[in-house]
Each structure stands twice: as structure tokens, then as C-alpha cells.
Amino acid sequence: MDDHCRACKPGYFKAFAGNTKCSKCPQHSSSHDQAATICHCDKSFYRGIKDPSSMACTRPPSAPRNLISLINDTALFLQWMPPINTGGRSDITYNVLCQRCDEGDSSVTQCEPCEPDLRFIPRPLGITGTSVAILDYAMHANYTFHVEAVNGVSGLGVAPRSLANVTVNTHQAGE
């Protein structure tokens, strides 16, 4: 105004000095001081590393829904539905984590990561669809699969991972 700068009031920000208007803080963020150059995300909300400061703050997604398994002589299939809550983002991918669980000598179930020769089609991590085929599994084994939905801010929070779980007994194959 009249060739004088005026500081942005709380709730607004200006990323760069210059003859531009102050912008209102994006959704789920705020600035509490005058002359803010960025709005900080509210608790439990985040901006991804490549997200512009003008983008709303977002959350990690909830767990995938309705995880089911199907099995035949040659393959085991996992299918699921997207999470109810995407966290406000569209960059959702899925990771399939696997454990093989067997009863030990004392009838205590012991779980360990799945054998490395288990094949996932298309792959176990960074899946963009909502299904995966698993080949070369062991017969007469118990597998527990955890499917996780992730987005661009999933690694930034301290909340526990949101997983959908299913246990598959490969005794069922071919029956």
C-alpha cells in the first residue's frame, strides 16, 4: 500500500516478498505470527517433501478394506478395496508384507519373514492396483499377509501403520 509493505496477518502467509497479496493458510495448517512465510501443519497433518507450501496438509491413509485371499494349485491371490480415508491425497500405493507362521515344538506359533523365492506379481511394494498374485509358495504352510496403504506423507507420522491382515493356510490349495 502506497509503496509500503504490510505484513500478512495471522492465518495468512506469503511465500516470497513482493507485490503480491497474502494467501490464506491452506486447509489443516495455520500461521500464528505476522509476516509468516509458511503455514505450519496442524497436529497429525503433514506436507510431503515435494508438496508446495500452498497445498493443504494431509494425513496417512487408513488401512485397505475387505482383504480376501483366493488360492488354487498354482497361485495365491490377494484382493482388497481402497481405504475409506485417503488422508486427503491421491498418491496411494500398497505394500504387501508377508510372514510364514508355523507351530514350534511347544505348540507356540513362530513367525518369520517369508522365504525370498516367493514371487509377487506385479511386485510386493509400491503396487498401484488392489490385487496381487503370489507364486512359488510352500504347500502345507501358514502365511500371514499384511496389506498397507501408503501415500506421500506415510513416513512422516508417528502413528502406527494401518494394516489389513489375512492368514492363508496352503493346505487348501487344489481342493
- Summarize pLDDT for 82-110 with one digit per residue, the tens: 999 999 999 999 999 999 987 666 667 78
The domain locations on the chain are 1-57, 65-172
Task: Please indicate whether residue 2 or residue 98 has the higher confidence score (pLDDT).
Answer: 98
> For the domain with range 1-57, which CATH number is right: 3.40.50.300, 2.10.50.10, 3.20.20.70, 3.30.420.40?
2.10.50.10
pTM: 0.84
- Give the pLDDT mean for 109-125: 90
Architecture, CATH, for domain 65-172:
Sandwich (2.60)
DSSP-assigned letter for residue 85: -
